[in-house]
């Protein structure tokens, strides 16, 4: 059974960086846990977290609930930036 924390990491509405998390984990598994081989994946994950953290803080300042947009809303935010 998955822990509550593990479930949260896999929940697209809670974790906006599920794809980056999974890609990093796969890279680590594929490269015998050599972090140097996965530097790009770690950077993408870090950038994802930073981006959504800034969005979350902006929404919090503006009194928008929920502070973290749901997966569908995040998709629209990203599309509007292309």
Do residues 38 and 29 make contact, with C-beta atoms less than 8 angstroms apart? no
Residue 38: inside a domain: yes
- Rounded Cα distance between 33 and 25, Å, is 9
Residue 70 structural domain? 15-80
Residue 25: inside a domain: yes
Sign of CA pseudo-dihedral 29, 48, 19, 17:
positive
- Give the count of domains, the chain: 1
Residue 6: inside a domain: no
Residue 8: inside a domain: no
Q: pLDDT, tens digit, for every residue of 15-73?
A: 899 999 999 999 999 999 999 999 999 999 999 999 999 999 999 999 999 999 998 99
The larger pLDDT score, comparing residue 7 to residue 32, is at: 32
- pTM exceeding 0.85: no
Residue 7: inside a domain: no
Residue 66: inside a domain: yes
- Rounded Cα distance between 28 and 57, Å, is 31
* Tokens describing residue 58: 């902006």
The larger pLDDT score, comparing residue 37 to residue 9, is at: 37
Task: Report, in angstroms and rounded to the nearest whole number, the Rg of the chain calculated over CA atoms.
Answer: 14
The larger pLDDT score, comparing residue 69 to residue 9, is at: 69
């Amino acid at each position: 059974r998955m822990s509550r924390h593990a479930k949260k990491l896999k929940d697209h509405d809670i974790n906006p960086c599920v794809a980056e998390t999974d890609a990093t984990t796969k890279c680590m598994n594929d490269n015998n846990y050599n972090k140097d081989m996965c530097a790009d994946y770690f950077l993408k994950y870090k950038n994802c977290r930073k981006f959504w953290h800034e969005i979350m803080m902006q929404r919090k300042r503006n009194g928008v609930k929920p502070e973290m947009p749901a997966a569908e809303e995040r998709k629209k935010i990203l599309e509007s930036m292309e």
